[in-house]
Every structure is written in structure tokens, then in C-alpha cells.
Structure 1
Amino acid sequence: TRFTQLVVHRPNLTCGWFYFAPRKFSEQGKSTHCCIILCVLLPFLSSSLPDKPKNTSVSVSPSGEIVEGSSVTLTCSSDANPPVDKYTWYKKNVTSPKASGQSYSITNIISEDRGEYYCEAENKYGRLNSSSVSVDVQYTTTLFLWVPVMGVGAALTVGALLVTIYCYMKRRHTGGSDATSDTQSVHPDPNSDMYTALNMKTRPPEYDTLANVRGLPSDTAPQNRSLALHL
């Protein structure tokens, strides 16, 4: 009798068969072959047996919303004995592999990276693909990008407006004082020569004498004529 082979039909089911060499029974004179198949439920034994990868899955980090320009890391995990010696990454509807290794990182992600990804785990006993995971990339709107710029521009505009109003009010206040000064400066200085020349009240006595002398012939002319008539 000898134990010839061990076969695993199910993850937790271990089966073996025993082969008995032919024996000759004297009373019948014939040879007899005997084979016994024994199946035993041995979880601890089946888990240690070599097998291809199983329970292959993919996790995404970060798990929240993915925005353009950010980074995403996909990680593949699988149970295998012996351990997985090769991981390959694929994108659905794309024939060629995207990357190899247990982790696949996408830096500065863009909208073209949107899609479904899966990994393939492989050891010397076989390979197994994981379920696909969806990577959805959110667009970054132009308005969102310009919010900081618009904020700085608004602050600068308000600052410039305040400076303009301050300068205008200060100039207006200073202008009122200048107008008063200009109005006061219109009044002539009584001690100036020009004021003396223009002011009739300040003319010298010689001016009156000269005026009388020049007006004398016209005043005395009738008297001279009257004297001539009496002669």
C-alpha cells in the first residue's frame, strides 16, 4: 500500500487516494486491484498549500474627491502562497499596461486620467485580476482659479479709491484756504506806488494847482470879452 497523490478540489477540501498493489486470492485464483479515495475537510492544511493569488483588490488614496492637479495612489493587495511576485496595472479599454508594482501613483492628475483601473496579481501558480475601481477627476473651473487674483485686485482697487478720496478732500480743504488768500491779496496795498497813482484821493496838491491853471483861461474868457466891449 502506498499514498500516491494529494489533490485539492476546493479551498477547504483536501482529497487523497490510496492505491493497493494487486493481490492474488488463492481460492479464486484471480488478482484484485484496490483503490481508496479519502476526502477530508482540513482548513488549516488547505490554507498552507501552494496556490495562485486570490482575494485580489484595489484601494484608492485619497478616497475623497479628486481634483485636477492633485495626486492619487492606487494600491493592489492579494492573498497568495507563495506571495505575489508581479503586479501589473491596467486601465479599462486600454490594451497596454499602465504600470507595474504593487502601487501605482498618478501625480498632477488631469481629466484624461479619468477612468476605471484594475490590477493583476501573479505568482508561479497563476494570476488573478481585481475588480476595477473608478477614478473620477473633477474639473477645476477658471473662476475657481481666479478667485485669489480677483480678491487681490479688489483690495488694490479699494485701496486706490480710498487714497484718491483722501487726496481729493485734502486738496479741496487746501484749495479753500488758497482761495481766501487770493481774495485777500486782491486788496491793494495803500503804501504801494501803483495804489498812489490810481487813487484820486491821494493825489498831491500840485495836481490841483495844475488843474486850476489849465482851467483858468476858460473861466476868465468871458470877463476879458466883457472888458473889451466897455473899451
Structure 2
Amino acid sequence: MLATDLLVFSSILSGWYFFSCLVSLPKTLNSTSGSCLLIPCLFNISKEKESILDNSPVVTWRRGSLWSLYDTDRFTIAHHQMEPVMEVVGDLRKKNCTSVMRNLSSQHSDRYFFRIETKTFTTTETRAVYINVSGGRAPQRTSFWPNVTVPVLREGEKVNLTCTAPAPCPSHPPNVIWAPALGGDVTQRTQMNTDGTQSVSAILNFIPSFHHHELKVNCVSIHPLPREDKPLLSHKTVILSLEYPPKKTWISLTGVVWLGSNVTLTCQSNANPPAFHRWFLKRAGVEEELNISHALSFTVAQDNTGEYICEAQNPYGAKNSTNLQITVPGQPVLETVSPFIVTLHFGPSRSHQIGIYYFYSCCFFYTFARTHFSIFKSLFQNFLHSELKSSLCGLNCGSFNNNKKFK
């Protein structure tokens, strides 16, 4: 490559002596086999030399790999066929040398040097543009992949998602689409980039909802290939991150509510960013703030009776859970009705009569099971009446006295 550069430089010295030309063009351009390629090109010459542009100048692009063969007898028709079909689409009188290469194949990948000739002067640019033509159906360069721009997404605020794909061949621009379109409107536009190349953008305008959070959205660019039966597909997937207020707040309870037991209330909510939680206890129509935490744990006592409320809040709003009513059962009073029947009083309006032997059997087995075998305790809990089960936790089974009452 160094030898070629020196050869190019030495070959154009005489041309530069009479005619200097400053060319502006990209360093590298990418295309794919079967397509075409736009080469943005501008040049500048001194004002006293501008008149030569009226003398039908000819622009060519010389391949670096064939440089030593140009202008010699060794340059054959076979070598000429190795050059891509080239068309100058810019207005040379306006110093625009933009050109289009057509019917490209992977064999056309090379360095190309801009050359302008008139009847009087000839010059060749020393800096080359490297043309990379990928073969096969999949693009080998990331420059073919679409680029996606996603702003901050907030629920209810209209926003644009922009997907941009390169358009190396202006006569066959890509079709850029969004999938899914999220119920929005999609518009396409073609724009000129700062380096003179072109691109096509698909702009998706929609109003985001919290249902779109963590949704995968695809931008697909479809590049038609004039010499191929099927187009070239490229895509990029993005996962949307949406900011929204709490949409659902609920309380889950761990443990069984009876005197002396340990329970935990956990507050959960659907929000982004995640919400913080505040706890309230409502008794006799009065709400009392308890704590600011994700979970609330306590040992059950009589004063824990009431309605528990969790409020979830983030910068975009707040939402309360439904009220969770917790009623702590009191200490029951037991009295005998007959030598074989006892009555359990759970207050002025609730009582249950059970056999005395059944009661003592329950008391014995439940006390033994909860002390020694947690699995028996679990099985026995499902068997016992809920209020009897609660009472057994707070009673001393041996306290049945001569007054026929439990204290």
C-alpha cells in the first residue's frame, strides 16, 4: 500500500504544478453486493482556474489496486471491466463531483482516487475514499444497521421514536418501519447528512402507556437490491423504559393472626421508578401513620386490631391499597354445661359448645404438635375450628378449675 501511495503522489506532481484541487469526500463508504453507492464529493480550485470548468471536464475514479496499470499498454479490457460503472451526478460547474457507483459486487472493494481532466489540465487527488462492498445477504458492517433514538418516556406525554437507516443508493432508498407501531403514526423522511451521505428516518409518534413498559419494539430497514430477488433486511430491537405513577397497590400478609403470634404485612406496587411505601392504621374513623417501609412486622396484641392501609408514592403520583382489616381474637371464657360439654364464649354474641373430651384431646395434641412437630401443627390447624385454634394458643390446658371456667 505504501508503494502505491508513493506512486500516486509522484504521478500527480506535474498536475499539481499547474492545477491544484482540494477535494472533500468521506474516508470510508459501505454498500452491499447488487446495490449502488453514492459518493458525496466537493472540490475547490482557485478563481483564476475556474474557467476550465467550462471546457467539458471529465471526472473518473481510479482504483488503487490498478494504479500502476493506468496510462500504460498493460491496462487491458479485462482491467477496465474490473472498474465499477460510475456516473457523476453532481454539477461540476458548481464544484460538485458527487458520483454514483452502480452494479456493485464484493470485487469492487478498493481505494478510489478522484481525478479530473480537461483539454488543458489534469489532476488526481492524493487522498482516497475506501469503498467496502459486502457480499452475501447479511451486511457485514454495523453501518447498515438502523440507529434508534429513544427519548425519556413518561405516561401520557406524546413522544417521537426515531429510527434512521443509511441510504447508500439514492435511487433505491430503504423502507424503514416500526413493529409494533404502538397505535401511533409513522412518517418517513429522507435527509442529507453532514458528510453528504443520505439516510432515511421513520418517526413513530405515539402517547405511551404504562402497558408499554419493558415492551420490545423493532426497527426494521428493508434495502432493495436491484440485482437480487429479495431485499436486504436489517433490524434493531429496543426495550422501552417508561416512567409512570403507581398503578396498583396491594398488601400481602405472612403469618396467622392470634395473640402473641408474629405477622408481617408487605406492601407491593406497580410503578416506575419504584415507589416508597407509607403505612396507616385506621381505628374508629381515625387514621394514624405508622411507618415508612416496604414491610411492617409486629407481634399481635389487642391494640393491633384495625384497618391497615399502604400508600405507594413516586415522583409521578400516589395510590392507596384496599384496606386490610385485622381483628385480633380476645381470650375466650369456657364453662361447663354438663359433665361432658363445655361452652367457649368469644364475646357477648359468639359461643361454641364442644365435648369436654374433644376439647382436652385437641388441647393435648395441639400443644404437643406445636411444641415438637411443625408438620403436625400445620395439619392440626386445618382440622380445628379457627376460633378454637386461636384460643388454644393463649390458654393453659391445665387451668380447668373447680369453678368450671378457664382463666
Band the TM-score falls in, shorter-chain normalisation: 0.3 to 0.5
Structure 1 or 2: larger helix share? 1
Larger radius of gyration: 1
TM-score by length of structure 1 reads: 0.44
TM-score by length of structure 2 reads: 0.27
Higher relative contact order (CA 8 A, sep 6+): 1
